[in-house]
Structure 1
Amino acid sequence: MKTAIQLGNMRFYAFHGVNEQENRVGNNYTVQLTVKASLKQAMLTDDISDTLNYAELYETVRKEMEIPSRLLEHVAGRIILSIQNRFPEIKGGKLTVTKEKPPISGDVESASVVIKW
């Protein structure tokens, strides 16, 4: 059995970007996270100590989103490293970090970095 936990549409206002204006004004971001972990014991026991704590997983993402970076790739890499350090039981996952209305010419709703590990 393959099991995972997903936190979807986590919303943040952060200051990531190459342009000075992005660093000063900020932008809206969304983060999608799916992590692979065994949930078998929690399925049997109904005990929170047998699963990943969703709130702690969210806090790990939130703390990294608060640190300004020039590149979304860097933000995503930091999030993954923090998750791996905090939750060694996670066996991989998928992370999407999305910047809404990126400052590029053209009609572009968002720009995202997607990493599977």
Structure 2
Amino acid sequence: MGKIILENIKLFGFHGCMPEESYVGSYYTVNVEVELDLYKASVNDDLSKTINYVHLYRIVKEEMATNSKLLEHLAQRIIQRIRKKYSKVDLIKYTKIKICKENPPLQSNVDRVCVLLEDKDLINKN
């Protein structure tokens, strides 16, 4: 077993419940963690036996371009897209997404607000 981890993807987006967030926007940091069996890829040096992290990045970037009121919803969409893309090859055992809004619009000095969603949270609720 192994993991592919994309750390600190920095993107700009328009997510939030306050009206001004939909036109002012904010910076976000996204972390993606996917657990899978990496044995065949490590032995065969074959990209088809693993998940291409370029595709994971592309999914995150595309979903960040679609506005959401809640980071929870955005994280759920990213997990669903990853699961759908790789459902036929059945490689993924586990997925975790962490999305942080940098400098959230709060009445205090807070660096970031983060949401962490794991696909087991979604599976157990279905």
Query: TM over 0.5, yes or no?
Result: yes
- Alignment correspondent of 1:58: 57
What is the correspondence of 1:57-96 to structure 2 with a 5 Å cutoff? Answer: 57-88=56-87, 89-96=91-98
Q: Matched residues in 2 for 1:20 and 1:50: separation?
A: 44
Are residues 1:100 and 2:105 paired?
Answer: no
State how far apart, in whole Å, the 2-side matches of 1:75 and 1:39 are.
27
> Could you tell me which residue of structure 2 aligns to residue 46 of structure 1?
45
State the number of aligned residues: 116
TM-score by length of 2: 0.88
Matching residue's letter, 1:47: D
Q: For residue 48 of structure 1, what is the amino acid of its counterpart?
A: L
Unaligned regions of 5+ residues in structure 1, if any?
A: none
Whole-angstrom CA distance in 2 between matches of 1:52 and 1:21 = 37
Q: Is the 8 A contact 2:14 2:23 kept in 1?
A: yes
Task: Give the alignment's TM-score, normalised by structure 1.
Answer: 0.95
Q: CA deviation at 1:93?
A: 2.0
**AA in 2 matched with 1:115:** L
Q: Percent identity?
A: 39
Letter of the 2:81 partner, please give it.
S
